[in-house]
Chains A and B, each alone.
Chain A
């Protein structure tokens, strides 16, 4: 099992930056595209994605697969995702370890799960079915969470490690999410990172968050903070050369600010001696 070749340092593709990306040559190696923004839709956004795809690799990142829901898998969604992937040929497809609703309702959020053996069986089975349908391994991302459940039987990092092995999927490791959850729940982010199997990690997310003193919220509306940069450096040492990107979804700064953050990520990655093995058993 060979990991996909690293793409370098990328950015979440957002409409605010379309013109600048198309008219210039910002130092961005690839783009992450929110799948749902383009599924089943036409018009200018699709035309722009066509243009960008001609010049950059892309990955598709979803927010609605609801892989941990106890509702049936949504094959209409998967069909639309497959059509989008067939058209734009992403390097890979990712979504979150979460659920978005049950009983036909969608809460439009990345909702947390209890880390139980039942949930592990359930989610691993669903990932395998999705991968069979899409004919490819997908990457699953750890989410920021704001609650914990009395039912949990293991910690999140153990759950993720077991899930990746059982489902035979990739992992998208969100550095900021680990920091946010570690603050909210009081665990050690460094130890969390040590539990994650490096051979499964094909992408890293960096982002900012909002600080509410008693808790932190993953809002993607601020620069990456110093402690997350430090955790990123540790992730680079732990995981080796991995495609890295910055998510920004609100309070948009000039594109040059985000490019500067990517440059910082490049410098950190370049200076981090790798402990990782690039090939899984």
Chain B
């Protein structure tokens, strides 16, 4: 058997539900060939299970070891890793849950997993500066309408089932809860995630801030952002509201770049 065929057979033996021992493997001094191969068969599953347990420790606490074990066993057996880093493989778990029975009907659990995944993504996101609000002092009044913003790579908004952030905070203990209580009474909540000075943060945002942030992240300028807010609020003067959003984004460390008239 040549090298390519051997590697294909070895990999197929590991990925199959029941181990298939490649014919090339020899008996050893103290173990037969099947027992020797199991070191690799088991290691693949154990390594991914350990990574999933670390990445979704809150989900594991919420589901309990037995149900969490069933979930990650199903994931590992049906979705071979195609990622260089095991951590990246773990990121596919919420999508697997969304597509697979019995989890696909359990939105609360899926969104909980998605919440935890986003914390990890924010923690590992690329670096970028976080500008101080004093940056805006250098902007001439005439330039404000054309002002554009770029956000830190860790910034992300997710629409999740109402109560997801609080459920996470409860699982982690009150001392870890960084989520404000601004959630409106609705089926969904929008959670904003970001990293600042190495720490990962999240908070619920209302529909107005969600719209403003989406506009700004989509490279709308400040005038366009205000127009979008005004449309939502039937033409009210929203400049003060937009300025308040901006102030909070800067204070939270969300803004990495400002420009004037940039697309």
Residues of A within 8 A of B (CB): 36, 40-47, 64, 69-70, 74, 77, 99, 101-109, 111, 113-114, 116, 118-119, 122, 146-151, 184-186, 213-215, 217
Contact = CB atoms under 8 A, between A and B. Distances in A.
A119 B43 CA distance: 24
Contacts of A116: 3
Nearest to A40: B126
Contact of B198 (A47, A118, A146): A47
B127 A42 contact: yes
A147 B24 CA distance: 10
Nearest to B44: A107
Interface stretch (B32-40, B94-102, B204-212, B217-225): B32-40
A102 B8 contact: yes
A149 B37 CA distance: 11
A107 B11 contact: yes
B82 A104 contact: yes
Given A147-B40, A215-B39, A106 B84 contact: yes
A149 B36 contact: no
Contacts of A74: 84
A114 B36 contact: no
A126 to B, nearest CB: 12
Contacts of B81: 101, 105-108
B83 A146 contact: no
Contact of B195 (A43, A103, A148, A186): A43
Contact of B26 (A70, A103, A108, A148): A148
A236 to B, nearest CB: 28
Size class of the contact patch on chain B: 35 or more
A146 B10 CA distance: 13
Given A44-B198, A215-B36, A103 B4 contact: no
Residue among B8, B40, B83, B86 with most chain A CB within 10 A: B40
A109 B43 contact: yes
14 contacts: A42-B125, A43-B123, A43-B154, A46-B127, A64-B85, A69-B7, A103-B8, A108-B48, A109-B40, A114-B6, A114-B24, A119-B3, A148-B25, A149-B6
B39 A146 contact: yes
A99 B7 contact: yes
Interface of B: 1-4, 6-8, 10-11, 14-15, 23-26, 28-31, 33, 35-37, 39-40, 43-44, 47-48, 80-86, 89, 123-128, 153-154, 195, 198
Contacts of B4: 70, 102
A23 B119 CA distance: 27
A128 B35 CA distance: 36
A149 B29 contact: no
A101 to B, nearest CB: 6
A-B pairs, top 9 by smallest CB distance, nearest first, are A42-B127, A44-B198, A146-B39, A186-B29, A70-B4, A214-B30, A42-B126, A149-B24, A147-B36
Contact of A184 (B1, B7, B28, B44): B28
Contact of A41 (B7, B11, B124): B124
B44 A109 contact: yes
Contact of A150 (B26, B35, B37, B124): B26
B126 to A, nearest CB: 4
Contact of A113 (B3, B26, B124): B3
A8 to B, nearest CB: 30
A36 B84 contact: yes
A108 B47 CA distance: 7
B54 to A, nearest CB: 11
Contacts of B2: 118
Contact of B11 (A103, A113, A114, A215): A103
A156 to B, nearest CB: 14
B25 A149 contact: yes
B197 to A, nearest CB: 9
Contacts of B48: 108
A106 B83 contact: yes
Given A102-B4, A109-B44, A41 B84 contact: no
A99 B6 CA distance: 12
Given A64-B85, A148-B25, 12 more contacts: A36-B85, A43-B195, A44-B123, A47-B198, A74-B84, A101-B11, A106-B89, A149-B6, A150-B24, A151-B24, A184-B28, A215-B39
